[in-house]
Amino acid sequence: MVSDVHIAGVGMTAFGASPERTARDMFAQAAGEAFDDAGIDPDAVEELFYGNFMGEFAEVQGHQGPLMADVVGVSAPSTRIDSACASSGVAVRHGVNRIRGGADVVLVGGSERMKNISTAEGTEALSAAADALWEVKAGVTFPGAYSLMANSYFDEFGGTREDLAHVAVKNHQNALENDLAQFQMAIDVDDVLEAPTVSSPFGLYDCSPMSDGASAALLVSEAFAEEHGLDTDVAITGTGQASDGLALQDRVSIPETPAAVEAGEAAYEDAGITPEDVDVAEVHDCFTIAEVLALESLGFYEPGEAITAAREGETTIDGALPVNLSGGLKAKGHPVGATGGAQISEMTKLLRGDHVNSDAVSDATVGLTHNAGGTVASCAVHVLEVVE
């Protein structure tokens, strides 16, 4: 039996456009908040795992592992993880495994700077997460790749643009009171359907935005939490990660994401739970179709059946399984290397009762986070539970 990994503190910057802020400046803020939240000093940290995807492109800054350790006052080993948009979800998993391997205090998180460059430059930088030989050379961008997945889903299982629009409307609604979200703005289905086309079938509101932001979490062992009398109400009880080929053309089925299936099953088994036990989820809705694919891959719905979940109110704030109460990537924002850590930060607050949307899930004891890289060529899933 593996031990629980307690979350002693979390922090994140507001996501959005802060083109003057460096990745290091934002990570210092997020980590500082996590240290304050936990009541732990940086010198207690035994290792740092840090997610970042496009630092070389956006601010000509590589080698960010030791850079970020220095910035936050940590003198322990520090590693930068690149797993595209799943970078900090994978960083969290490394932290969980390090605590299970015997460490007492590990800092995890990530940071990304995207709004200091143009949308065209950001699109080019992001496409490095696709297959350079077989996709990027043919002109594939991420809005384009996920459009292929959406159209393929419609062909295989049915569904409409309007079904997807409800996902965007729901996530914007959830973000209305979240001051850390990039868009605190209600939209309706007509807004989504009438928005300028980005890549058919997607309009502007089917897409997550480019964002600046950082996230951090302090993970501690059960023994450390007890010894120091830390108030750790939430623990990570399950972790799973899986990979797939980068190129969509090699997938057996375009509108399915087997890496998420595998990562989800591993996380459930690790935590000793089933999908039915999950009360609330934060999933990687980089495009509206991505939320649908996530819900099916994670076992909440059969393939082809999650397309109407938001429309039917099953995943809204008052639904049976509230999804993306933070606003998700769609409305909270998506600074890619920070997103997985932000899901942990938001879920921790939701479960311990100090998130603006906590009241909607006051009985929740089990939360799930799903963080995907590329067209889900990498995926990290975590189960968080309220512990005594």
Q: Does 173 bind ligand COA (CB under 6 A)?
A: no
- Bridge partner list, 78: 48
Candidate ranges 199-207, 253-261, 316-324, 343-351; the one touching ligand COA (CB under 6 A): 199-207
Q: Does 198 bind ligand COA (CB under 6 A)?
A: yes
Smallest gap from Cβ 104 to ligand COA, in A, equals 35
Candidate ranges 1-9, 27-35, 154-162, 206-214; the one touching ligand COA (CB under 6 A): 206-214
How far apart are alpha carbons 168 and 166 in whole angstroms?
5
Of 238 and 327, CB closest to ligand COA:
327
Active site annotation includes 379: no
Of 91 and 140, CB closest to ligand COA:
140
Exposed/middle/buried for 179, CB within 10 Å: 0-12, 13-18, 19+? exposed
List the catalytic residue out of 6, 94, 284, 334: 334
Q: Does 333 bind ligand COA (CB under 6 A)?
A: no
Candidate ranges 54-62, 105-113, 119-127, 270-278; the one touching ligand COA (CB under 6 A): 119-127
Q: Which residue matches tokens 């080698």?
A: 63
Options 27, 49, 154, 205; binder of ligand COA; rule CB under 6 A: 205
Smallest gap from Cβ 39 to ligand COA, in A, equals 35
DSSP result, 166-180: HHHHHHHHHHTT-TT
Length of the chain: 388
DSSP result, 189-221: HHHHHHSPEEETTEEGGGBPPP-BEEEEEEEEE
Exposed/middle/buried for 146, CB within 10 Å: 0-12, 13-18, 19+? buried
CB-CB contact of 299 with 260 (8 Å): no
Smallest gap from Cβ 150 to ligand COA, in A, equals 13
Which tokens belong to 20?
């003057």
Smallest gap from Cβ 217 to ligand COA, in A, equals 22
CB-CB contact of 193 with 96 (8 Å): no
Q: Does 204 bind ligand COA (CB under 6 A)?
A: yes
Q: Does 61 bind ligand COA (CB under 6 A)?
A: no
Smallest gap from Cβ 343 to ligand COA, in A, equals 14
Residues of this chain, 209-228, that bind ligand COA according to CB under 6 A:
209-210
List the catalytic residue out of 85, 207, 286, 379: 85
Q: List phi, psi (to 5°) of 278.
A: -75, 130
How far apart are alpha carbons 251 and 205 in whole angstroms?
27
Of 51 and 143, CB closest to ligand COA:
143
Would you give the end-to-end CA distance of the chain in angstroms?
A: 18
- Bridge partner list, 371: 380
Smallest gap from Cβ 10 to ligand COA, in A, equals 23
Smallest gap from Cβ 120 to ligand COA, in A, equals 8
Q: Which residue is nearest to ligand COA (CB)?
A: 119
How far apart are alpha carbons 136 and 113 in whole angstroms?
22
Which candidate, 288, 282, 267, places its Cα nearest to that of 346? 282
Candidate ranges 73-81, 118-126, 258-266, 305-313; the one touching ligand COA (CB under 6 A): 118-126
Exposed/middle/buried for 229, CB within 10 Å: 0-12, 13-18, 19+? exposed
Smallest gap from Cβ 152 to ligand COA, in A, equals 16
How far apart are alpha carbons 313 and 219 in whole angstroms?
34
Active site annotation includes 334: yes
> Which residues are CB-contacts of 91 (< 8 A; sequence separation ≥ 6)?
49, 50, 51, 81, 108, 109, 110, 340, 341
Candidate ranges 5-13, 26-34, 97-105, 208-216; the one touching ligand COA (CB under 6 A): 208-216
Options 208, 297, 343, 371; binder of ligand COA; rule CB under 6 A: 208
Residues of this chain, 272-311, that bind ligand COA according to CB under 6 A:
286
Of 187 and 278, CB closest to ligand COA:
187
Contacts with ligand COA by CB under 6 A lie at 85, 119, 123, 126, 142-143, 183, 198, 204-205, 207-210, 286, 334
Catalytic site positions: 85, 334
